[in-house]
Every structure is written in C-alpha cells, then in structure tokens.
Structure 1
Amino acid sequence: MTTDEATEVAPPPKRRKSRFATLSANRDFRMLWLGQAGSELGGSLTTLTAPLLAVAITGSTVAAGVLGSIGFVSIWLAQLPAGYLADLVDRRTVMLWCDAIRLALMATFAVLVMLDMATLWQLLVLTVAGSALGVVFRAAQQQAIRVIVARDQIPEAVSITQARGFAISMVGPPVGGVLYAVGRALPFFANAVSYAVSMLFVWRVRTPLKPPNRPTARRLLPDMGQGWSELGRNAFLRGQTIYSAVTNLAVSALLYTVIFGHAEDSVILGMALSAAAGAGLLGSLAAPVLMRRLRLRTLLVSVALLRGAAVALATLTGEPILFAGTLTIVMFAGPVVNAALSTATVLYVDAEVMGRASSSSAFISGMLQPVAPLLAGVLLSMWSPSLVQWTLTGGFALVAICALVLPGLSLRLDGDGR
C-alpha cells in the first residue's frame, strides 16, 4: 500500500433520501397527483353547494337529505363495475372517459343554473352520474398508483394523496360558499374546468397502465366472482368491511347533521368545513409516522374512541359551535384510518384481484351509508339536537367495539410483512 493510498480520506457516506423525496421525483406519480388536485378543487366547491342548492330549490332539508342519500346509493352500486374495470381495462382510458363525461354534465348543469332553469331532478341526475363516475375513476387511480409507485413507498403515496385532498378542502368550501353567494352557477362552472385539468395531466402519464388480462363478455361474471372469493378468503378484507360499514354511517351522519344545522349561512359553514379540512391535512401528514409504528387495530380503536369522546364533550357542553367543531377531530382522525386501510389493502390483497376484491368490500360496507343524509335530516326534524348528538356518540362507541373484536385487523403497515 502506498503512502498516498494509506492517507486517502474515504468519501462521506451519501445521505439517504427520504421516501417523500424519492416519491416526489416520480414524474408519473406527480402527473397523477396534480391532475387530481385540479379535479378535487372543483369537487370541493360543489360538495357544499349542491345540498345548499337543493334546499334553495325545494325549501326542505329532507329533500336535501334524499339528494345526499341518492348520491351514496350511486357510489354503492358503482363499486362492483368500478373494480372490474380497474382490474381488466386500461386505467388511463377509464380515467379519461370519467373526466370527459363529468366535464360535459357539469358544464351543462352550470348553464341551466345560470339560466334559472335548474330543477331538483336535474341535480339528482348530476349527483348520480358524478358519484358513480367518481368511484370508477378512483378505482382505476388506485390500481395506477400500485403500478407507478414502489411497494415500500405505498404508505407515503397514500398519505400524500390524502393530504392533497384535505389541503384543497381548506380552500374549496369557503371559496365555494362565496362563489355560491355571488352566483349559484359559479361553483359548477369551476368544477367543469377542473375535470379538463385532470384530463390533461392523466393524458401525460407515461407508464403503461394496461392490465395483463383483458375482459371478455363470456368471462364477466366469473371474473367479478373472483373479487367475492378473495373477500371470503381474506380475513383483513372481511374485518375492514364490517368496520367500514359502521364507520361510514356514523361519520356521514355527523357531517350532514352539521351541514343541515347551518344551511342558512353558506359562508360560515364553508369556513367551518375549511377548518376541519385543515385538521385533516395534519392527520394525513401524521398518518405515515403512525402507520410505521402502530398496528392497524390500535389505530382503528384509538380513532373511534377519540371521535366518540369529541361528540360526547360537545353534547355535554351544549354549545352548537363545539358540536360543529367536532368535525375538526373527526377530520384529523379520518385520514389516519383511510390511509391505514388503503395501505393494508395494497400490501395484503393480491394485485390481480385487488380492484374487484376492494369493490366487493366497498359494496357491502357502503350499504348503510346512503341512510346517513336522510337519517340526519329526519332526526333533526323530529328530535332535539342533543338527542341526535348522543345517538352519534353511541355510533362511535359501536365503531370502537367493532375495531377491537373483528379478526384480521392486527396487521403491520410498514410494508415489511405481517
């Protein structure tokens, strides 16, 4: 060994990039992420203004509840065909068609609202089509993320996707409320533009998104049956299905109770929802850390207890503003649950049937959700607000019990195994 070789200083070790930094360097994930940012911004404007428009047209919170229930029914019925398409059809084609149809429908309805020709039936059609196409788009997007993103980056990909939605929701509701106050058609025109933005970015994704298998009419029922078979075989999917069914009903009932209770002031309601969305953003950013340290069951039980305690505290104080503030707690905890369940699905469900198996689970777990808006509207017209609040508290207690006793939920979420 020479003197020069002996005295040579070893180069410092390279600093390992964080998973978020590596993910941000993934061009196709950025395209998909940015496209949905535009679409979700438009959607956040009309999530609030659609039920407000229904109340304005009919003068009835029950009618608005029916509108919300029909939207949930559409989401529920679309689950099975959405999963089938996501597994067996080019995901890019599916997403582009969903955006194109929603763009045409939303622009047409915006014109009708501007001309003061909009009716409740037209709003129902828009709700049904938009809800169903949204399910199909998200199923295709989930499979696309699985192709585009490395397995060990799945928790971060799921979390940052949720964080985007909550960040946008901080802006969307108050802007939607202001636009609605200026002109009822404006939020719907903005939503139409958002679908055009989404189409542009989806079209720029370079990674091939065609599945290995191609659908045929002869194999339609057998292929869809594979999703139900996976649901019956996979203990996690069975547990998730029951847990999600109870959770969806409780959370949706709380959301619509707040909306219907403050329907007279769209701007203030929008600000309240924006604050709750800010909490959801923080929850999304915290989700990867929690998922890599806690098992799934621990997360689910903790979140349910936190939500129930928040609603109970608001009920005991008797302050309406605190009851509305419980949305902040619910929205902070929601991303943690959603990210955990989505990550577990990607990690522990076979890739070839993930779309169909997930849609089969969502089809069953969504059966109760259509009841929530109508239930909130009816209960508020019959019962005192405090009684409705105690009912919601009991619902979250039931969620905690389900998370504690259901099999298949004690899983690791760090991508390194069970």
Structure 2
Amino acid sequence: MTTVPLRRNRNYTLLWAGQAVSEVGFSTTMIAFPLLVLAITGSPAASGLVLGADAAAQLLAGLPAGALVDRWDRKRIMLWCEAAMAAAVGSLALALWWDSASLAHMVLVAVIMGVCRALFEPAEDACLTRLVPEEQLATAISLNAARSSIGQMAGTALGGVLFAIGRVVPFLVDMITHLISLISLAFLRVPYREVERAPIGNIGKEIAEGLRWVWSHRHVRVTALCAVSLNFFFNAFYIVIIVLANARGVPAGQIGLMAAMLGFGGLLGSLLAPTLHRILHPWVSIMAVFWMVTLLTPLTILAPNGYVLGALFAGMSFLAPTANTTINTHQLLLTPDDLRGRLSGVMNVVVGAAAAAGPAAGGVLVEFVDGTVAVLWCTAGMAAVSLLVTVSPVLRRFPVSV
C-alpha cells in the first residue's frame, strides 16, 4: 500500500498549521514582554524577572509534565494548554486596555505560558508517532523544526513592530493565534490509547521511572549528555559574542540580524534534514554539527561586521536540524508509547537547564576576561565535547534505524 504524503495527512497538517500560527504569536509575545515591562516599570531587572519566570516555570514543570502526559489524554492536554495560554495573554491584553497591568500580573502570565509549554511539547512529541507512519517520522520531525524556525523569525520581526503600534497589539495577536490553534486541534483525530488511571500520588515514581529509562539506554544517555554540553557552551558563547560585538561598535540592527540568521540557517537546515538524515550515517550527522559549531566559533573574533557574524551563525545552525532529526527519530521509535511523554519531559529539562546556565556562565566569563579570550574559552569547551563525540564508541555504533 502506498504511503500518503505528509501534506495529505489531515491530522499532521492540522497539527503543523495550528502550531505554526501559535508559535508566531508566542515569539511575538516573548519579544514584546521585556519591552512592555521596561515601558511600565523602567526596570531592566523586572524585564529579566518576567522572562526568567517563563523559563523557570517550564524547567520546574518539565519532569512532572512528562509524567502527566503519559497518564492523561494527550489531545486534551494540548487543547487545555492552548486555551490557558489564550486566556492568560488575553487577560493581559485586557489589563493593558484598561491601563491596569501590573508586574505581578505579567509574571503570572509568564508562569502560565511556561507551564503550558512544558505540558504541550511532550504531548505533541508523544502524539507524533500516532499521527504519521514510522517511515515518515524523520520528515515530520524536521518539518516541525522548520515550523519553529519560521515562527521564531516571523514572531521576532512582528513583536517590535506590533508593540510600536500599541502596547496591547502583540498580546492581542498572540491570543488570536492560540485560539486559531485551539480550533485546529479540536478537529485533530488522535488514535485511542489505553491510559492507566494510577493514583496521583504515584507521580514521583513515574518521574523516577522515566529518568531510569533514559539513563539505562546508552544511546539516549550519551546523546543527551553531548547535547547538554554543546548547548551550555554555545549559549555561553552567544552572550559573549553579543557583548563583544557591542563593545566593537557593531550597530544594534546588525546584532539583531545576526540573531535572525541563526534562525534562517536552522530553517534551511530543517528543509534539507530529511535528505541528509537518509544519506548520512547517524554518527556522521551528529559529529558534523559539533565540529561545524566548533570550527566556526573562533572565526567570529575576526568578523568585521554583523553581516559576517550573521553568516557564521547561519552556518553554525545549518546542520543542527539533521542531528536533531536523527536523534529524536531514534528516541521516539525506541521508547514505548507509555514513556514518550516522560522521555520528552526529561530531554526538555536537561536541554533547558543548559540553555539557562550557559548565558549565566558566559556573562560571568566576560566579566573577568577579554571578549576575545572568552570566545576562545568557549571554543575550547566545544572542541572537547566534539572530540568526545568523535571517539565515542556508543555514537559510532548509533543504529541507523530501530
């Protein structure tokens, strides 16, 4: 029997399109949030508090969320998350309209957004294998990555423009995007799965079971540790290079372009990821992204302007979708359905922890050493991780298929 192309897969198309719209709205809010806090409070620290509340909520909720995804109906989780996010940003839009928005309200909205994403992402990941056949899973994962890149780039560009039109506008747009996604999800048909109704008090045991499963599988454990290490050093480097570019007088517009090119490279890489996933050995696809980032990082020291920095950043992100497609496809097919939520929850937490710790480390590093030296320190850390990936016997024997 001929497999139906993904573009004709009704359920996958509904999920992809709804989330594409939702992610544009979310990225719009994440750009507008610090601008709003600064406009209302005048405090950069308060802006950091709001964005930090979102990240902290997602991180803290990650492990319990993964366990709940495995015990609850996954479609309902996604529906409730979209409804809650629409209500949260809608309440903020209403408060802005009435000129009564407060810092506490904004922190609460950020926390709700973070918790909802902690629940939604594992639910979507776990549903994916039930919506597309195994032979199309890698393509679906890469298209989801492309969707995220598109949403991030479009939302980032829209956020500032909409905020300039009016403070309430980006949050109103975000509310509408979540409602559109909610309607799209309502028509989604996810194959039925039996869910064991265990007492809620067992949640701790279920989290521990998910952690043990991840740790007991060598390929999952090693790829997670490598990804965490690279994310840590890259996020440290990202802060360092922004500080260095600013110190060298690179205009803010060019620094913004540099950040946008990171998403552009990821988008191009996502479109080519299904092809590269098929023709490259998994070890090669994983190793390539590590060495690409390691080799391009020190070249940023020589970059004369933000345009060259942007090109280097696009190159750094180009191969990441192929490695992520290879790793995520293997993990989802290897993991039993009743553990897929916990797998995603664990991976989101470890990667999120690295993403949070990296900028903090980079900020401390650039306080004590020159920016150029700080870049070289980050390069050294990336090179060490890349060498470990290259010689790892586990990754060399990474299975081509499950």
| TM-score grouping bracket, smaller chain normalisation | 0.7 to 0.9
Candidates 285, 303, 311, aligned match of 1:317: 303
Change (3 A) 1:173 1:206: same
Deviations 1:174-231 (A, max 9, x none): 2222222333332222111111111111110123354443333254333333212212
AA in 1 matched with 2:290: A
What displacement does 1:134 show? Answer: 0.7
What displacement does 1:303 show? Answer: 0.7
Q: Which structure has the highest helix share of the two?
A: 2
Partner of residue 111, structure 2: 128
Partner of residue 75, structure 2: 92
- Secondary structure of 2:354's counterpart equals coil
CA distance in 1, matches of 2:377, 2:321: 23
Candidates 282, 299, 304, aligned match of 1:296: 282
* 1:400 equivalent in alignment to 2:381: no
Partner of residue 9, structure 1: none
CA contact (8 A) 1:62 1:378 kept: no
Candidates 21, 25, 30, aligned match of 1:47: 30
CA contact (8 A) 2:87 2:175 kept: yes
AA in 1 matched with 2:314: T
What displacement does 1:332 show? Answer: 1.9
Candidates 72, 76, 79, aligned match of 2:62: 79
AA in 1 matched with 2:327: L
For the aligned residue pairs, the C-alpha RMSD in angstroms reads 3.1
What displacement does 1:27 show? Answer: 0.8
Structure 1 segments unaligned to the other structure (5+ residues)? 1-15
Candidates 176, 179, 192, aligned match of 1:193: 176
* 1:287 equivalent in alignment to 2:287: no
Partner of residue 19, structure 2: 36
CA distance in 2, matches of 1:380, 1:64: 22
* 1:353 equivalent in alignment to 2:339: yes
* 1:328 equivalent in alignment to 2:314: yes
Partner of residue 167, structure 2: 184
CA distance in 2, matches of 1:64, 1:385: 25
AA in 1 matched with 2:320: G
- Secondary structure of 1:409's counterpart equals helix
CA contact (8 A) 1:163 1:280 kept: yes
Change (3 A) 1:300 1:56: farther
What displacement does 1:38 show? Answer: 1.3
CA distance in 2, matches of 1:56, 1:259: 23
- Secondary structure of 1:292's counterpart equals helix
CA distance in 2, matches of 1:266, 1:318: 15
What displacement does 1:365 show? Answer: 4.3
CA distance in 1, matches of 2:360, 2:41: 15
Change (3 A) 1:198 1:133: same
AA in 1 matched with 2:211: W
What displacement does 1:371 show? Answer: 2.1
Moved more, 292-301 or 195-204: 292-301
CA distance in 1, matches of 2:285, 2:187: 37
Partner of residue 138, structure 1: 121
- TM-score for both structures, normalised by structure 2: 0.86
- TM-score for both structures, normalised by structure 1: 0.83
CA contact (8 A) 1:250 1:392 kept: yes
What displacement does 1:98 show? Answer: 0.7
What displacement does 1:373 show? Answer: 3.7
Partner of residue 10, structure 1: none
Change (3 A) 1:338 1:50: farther
Partner of residue 363, structure 1: 349
CA distance in 2, matches of 1:232, 1:71: 27
* 1:239 equivalent in alignment to 2:222: yes
- Secondary structure of 2:395's counterpart equals coil
Change (3 A) 1:93 1:372: same
* 1:108 equivalent in alignment to 2:94: no
CA distance in 2, matches of 1:79, 1:267: 35
> Percent identity over the alignment?
27
CA contact (8 A) 2:215 2:221 kept: yes
What displacement does 1:165 show? Answer: 1.9
Structure 2 segments unaligned to the other structure (5+ residues)? none
Change (3 A) 1:98 1:378: same
